Amino acid sequence: MQINKQDELNTEKRVPTALMPDRCFFHTIKQHGPMSRASIAKLTGISRPTISESAQRLLKQELVIETKRKSQNKQGRAGIIYEINASKGIILALAIDVKQIQLRLTNLALGVIRDQCFTIDPHWDKQDFIKAVIQIVELSLSDQNAPLLAIGVSVATPVNTSTGEIIALPFSQFTVIHEINFKHMLHAQFDCPVTIDNDVNWATLAEKANGIAQHESSFVFIYFGEGIGGGVYFDNHLIRGAAGMAGELGHIMIEDGVNLQDYVHKHKLQEALEAGDDLTEHPALKVISQIIASMATVMNPGMFVLGGPLTKYPTFIPAIISLTRPQLFTPTLIVPSDAPNFAPLNGVEAGTYELALAGFGLPAPEASPV
């Protein structure tokens, strides 16, 4: 029997069967809280003997611990209650955009240890920026005893997720981080695995994992802030494109020498939102609605999720919907994100957590992009 290259790649992505119960055990506790082996077996549909074997492996790795609490089953015997070992290690997530650096430090039980935001000095050069990021991370870890398991980085610019290289684009407003390889820099400085992606891809994954698009197999996330970007999620996969540029809506050229995000700034959309102006004839909204309608025609997603600071203004999304719907060939939902400001941070936190688990031999069912 011949196996082609694609079959080999698909095989490499599969989690070994023996590890699947361990992951199910761990994630059941993560989702539902401490519980007994019998309860985990009931929720997962995995046999009790298999769940017991998983418990022993996870206990040996110190990923879970036995609590002092006991459960009572129908036979009257007390069952051991297991919980995630929060002290096993910590993960650190960074979301870097033009104006700020958001930081979240969590333990393995996803308890938030630290949630902070630092303002970026517009006068920083590259070396200042590198120094600031390292100091911020060192400060956040200074009072921690648990090992750092992984770092995740979200950047407000296209990035090669494999190499960590920032993709420099014309008309970029965030040139200070060009040529900074956060993946290599943080790995060398803190000696742990590092994952990186652009902010909108992380936000898209957050919407799928915990947000409004949990039940959508194909959707587009669009971020409206200092920049404009899109995340394309189709057939249960994040689409990055050949060079990691899929969804870079802000760089679509609208007129000679002016891309979409500059066009939005040029026509002072945020000022109109702040003033509560009528947006039905606003040129930036007209262009945005045309782009969304074109994407709907070409890609036919089930949903558009709109996030970012501009979506907080009450007139923004209704105006987009009213301008876009007449241009659609098929009904397509246009909905606000549940976490418009923190979606990138939430996404990178989830991705970093998966990277940490992979280090313990508990990879996701499909190889994640970390």
Say if 367 falls within a structural domain.
no
364 versus 93: the higher-pLDDT residue is 93
Mean pLDDT of the chain: 88
State whether 155 and 264 are in the same domain: no
The Cα–Cα gap between 362 and 19 comes to 7
Over range 8-28, report the average pLDDT: 63
Over range 20-33, report the average pLDDT: 92
> Tens digit of pLDDT for each residue in 236-263?
999 988 877 888 898 899 998 899 999 9
The CATH number of whichever domain residue 49 belongs to comes to 1.10.10.10
Say if 4 falls within a structural domain.
no
Share of the chain above pLDDT 90, in %: 71
The Cα–Cα gap between 74 and 340 comes to 46
Say if 368 falls within a structural domain.
no
The CATH number of whichever domain residue 98 belongs to comes to 3.30.420.40
pTM for this one?
0.82
pLDDT at position 104 over 50: yes
State whether 44 and 107 are in the same domain: no
End-of-domain residue from the set 59, 84, 109: 84
- Kindly provide the b/e burial profile for residues 24-45, where b requires at least 16 CB atoms within 10 angstroms of the residue's own CB: bbbebbeeeebbbbbbbbeebe
Per-residue pLDDT at 11: 32
**Taking a C-beta distance cutoff of 8 angstroms, is the pair 186, 153 a contact?**
yes
Domain that holds residue 291: 213-336
Strand-pair category, 148-155 with 90-96: parallel
pLDDT band at residue 76, thresholds of 50, 70 and 90?
low
pLDDT band at residue 194, thresholds of 50, 70 and 90?
very high
Over range 324-336, report the average pLDDT: 93
State whether 293 and 227 are in the same domain: yes
Q: CA dist 108 to 28, 30, 69, Å?
A: 14, 9, 20
Per-residue pLDDT at 168: 81
State whether 99 and 39 are in the same domain: no
State whether 352 and 295 are in the same domain: no
For the chain, the domain total comes to 3
Tokens of 229: 């970007």
> Tens digit of pLDDT for each residue in 175-189?
889 889 999 999 999
